[in-house]
Amino acid sequence: MIDKKFKIANKIFKSRLIVGTGKYKSFSECAKAIKTSGADIVTVAVRRVNISNKNKARLMDYIDPKKITYLPNTAGCFTAEDAIRTLRLAREIGGWKLVKLEVLGDKKNLFPEMIETLRSTELLTKEGFKVMVYCNDDPLMAKRLENAGAVAIMPLAAPIGSGLGIQNKVNIKIIRKQTKLPLIIDAGIGQASDASIAMELGCDGVLINTAIAKAKNPIQMAEAMKLAVISGRKSYLSGRINPNLFGSASTTNKGII
């Protein structure tokens, strides 16, 4: 297969790795990790990260929004009203219309509340937002989000911050087959091999925060994730061999001594 460009809402990005900006020890460490990762999209929790008060340290002082695309998200929102209010604020602060929608159902497991998520997607789309949606790995709900106007589907691999890796490959494959939208794994990645698997399943990208930020060496892990995404994508495009229960010799029996 010939690779296609990584395009979201008609904007083309070089890197298929999206990096979060939370949980780092400092803005400086965050900036170094992002630079090493090669990511050109970073998610920003509007409710948690200072992006407007110039009297305090701001993320913008370390990561230039003119060079890297900021993706405001609604982390910490549990209702459609909170999410919509948060993204309207982001639009007022930075003019951002490409956003990541995240409406949670509970504080313990942080699973997406899909009824509120679907309602938010419909309302935000009508307001002109380009909505990338964090969701569960339900193919039916993913299709509803696509029909509601989402510009990217972002199913979880496992609970946010769990590092458990991809728990349901079958559903991810089904979602891949049924959507033409960018499919981006969001939440649950723990190590580089998880990112490679996501890409080998045909996903267009991977969003990673905790696995990098809380690693013992975040900078090195950022590089590992970068290489894993590239490797997994190349593997997917190369076309794997058909799995077989029996062995197959590497050389033929023709001319054997």
- Find the angle CA(6)-CA(190)-CA(76) to the nearest 5 degrees: 80
Q: Would you list the DSSP string of 153-176?
A: EEE-SSSTT-----S-HHHHHHHH
3-state SS class at 257: coil
Which tokens belong to 251? 């050389």
Residue 49 to residue 188: CA distance in whole angstroms: 22
Catalytic, out of 4, 100, 107, 173: 100
Among this protein's residues, is 100 annotated catalytic?
yes
Q: Can you read off the two tokens belonging to residue 6?
A: 């990584």
Nearest CA to 17 out of 197, 159, 169, 204 is that of 204
Determine contact, residues 205/16, Cβ cutoff 8 Å.
Answer: yes
Give the active site residues: 100
